[in-house]
Amino acid sequence: MDNQTGLGPRRLAFAAVTETLKRRVPLDDVLLLDEIAQGEPLSGRDESLARAIAIVVFRRFGTIRQALLERIEKAPKDERLLHLLAVGAAQILFLDVPDHAAVDTAVRLAQEDPRLRHASGLINAVLRRLARERDAILTNADPWIDTPDWLKNRWIAHYGETGAAAIAEAHRAPASVDLTVKDNATSWAERLNGTLLPTGSIRLSERTAIPDLPGYEEGAWWVQDAAAALPARLLSAQAGERIADLCAAPGGKTAQLAAAGADVLAVDRSAKRLARLQENLTRLHLTAETRAIDAEKLDEPLFDAILLDAPCSATGTLRRHPDVAWTKSDADVAKLAALQSRLLDKAASLVKPGGRLVYCTCSLEIEEGEAQAEAFLARHSDFTRAPIVVDEVGDLSELITQQGDLRTLPSHLRGYGGLDGFFAARFLRTAS
């Protein structure tokens, strides 16, 4: 019955937003928790609506929170009330949902909750007012309103006021869907009605069910952000080379290396994520050995090349995962940077003399990118930087730092719809 009235997906969105902020863990992980899926099982469509609502809450959390607090006499003591209002506001302000449905379901969710029942009248009044004043709310042009201060301060310090503001503005829009193809990218771009980006990825022009697209069943391509596809290309894998992909899941980079003909070992500490990676490889008719182990404990003969996509704060993926901005902090960056250093040292110990190492993160934070590269070279005199050249990144010189590393920003390729934020550095081990 809840599903028929639209209450089910809103209940799930409310629970997911609340638990994500409470536990400070990724939204995608929270949505998989058994205790979050309350009531009747939801259809795939309703689950998608719940996720869409939650994503918009986090993507425009600053705008939503300010709009709500300006229309409430006193900030609520119970954060859950603000979260329920935010779920309703996200639908009214940013989603193609009838206003009455957003208001009615929010009121009913409050009425079924003993702790929020008293606020059902307030919820009704505030959300109706939001609907009436929507245009005025959405004229706010401040690019920083949806970015928490801890990130704002970092980005201004690293990228300057103008560059940082462009990043913040880019994060207010959802990411496009990009594909990596095995071959014939131009032909596949035409078949998929997509755009062939300068970097070689195909960007879809409209959202649709991925399994329904031409080439899915035959394994001609896989979903992978255009920026995420660059690090594996920088490794220049050759047929027959023995290559390790460390922290490999979800597997897009493993697929790239396997498609090049390399003998790939995909390492990840999560057996469940590796199982999903193997499913993707099977669809793509590609093969790679998988190993569920902490990369720091890997004991193997030396490799011709290693790709290390290290765990990171993921602040470069806020267009896809906006909850990251509101669940992580400076302390997380420092903790992850220490782990990245250890993983880099481990990776270096597994590279043959004359071999290659590419280090990358989907982070905008300097400690997880540029500073890691410099510190690594200072610790390892047997490695030198192999600068990236412009024709390796589609002749986009703005993607290469002065030191010769890769640095993509969400504000890059704006004419095409932007990129994820990524850093990558390439190192060579001396031959003797």
Please list the active-site residues. 362
Phi, psi of 326 (to 5 degrees): -105, 0
> In the numeric block, which tokens belong to residue 376?
């690594």
As a whole number of angstroms, the distance between CA 182 and CA 201 comes to 10
Which conformational region is residue 6 in: left (phi greater than 0), alpha (psi within -120 to 50 degrees), or beta?
left
Angle at Cα 163 formed by Cα 160 and Cα 169, nearest 5°?
Answer: 130
- Three-state SS letters, 299-336: CCCCEEEEEEECCCCCHHHCCCCCHHHHHCCHHHHHHH
Angle at Cα 340 formed by Cα 338 and Cα 343, nearest 5°?
Answer: 115
Q: Which residue has the tokens 């986090």?
A: 58
Helices then strands, counting H and E runs in the chain, come out as: 17, 12
As a whole number of angstroms, the distance between CA 249 and CA 257 comes to 13
Helix, strand, coil percentages in the chain from 3-state DSSP, rounded to 5: 50, 15, 35
Cα distance between the two ends of the chain: 71
- What amino acid is encoded at 203 in this protein? R
As a whole number of angstroms, the distance between CA 246 and CA 291 comes to 10
CA 266 from centroid of its chain's CA atoms: 20
Q: Note whether 396 and 226 are within 8 A (CB).
A: no
193-205 in b/e burial notation, b at 16+ Cβ within 10 A? ebebbebebbbbe
Tell me the three state secondary structure of residue 135: helix
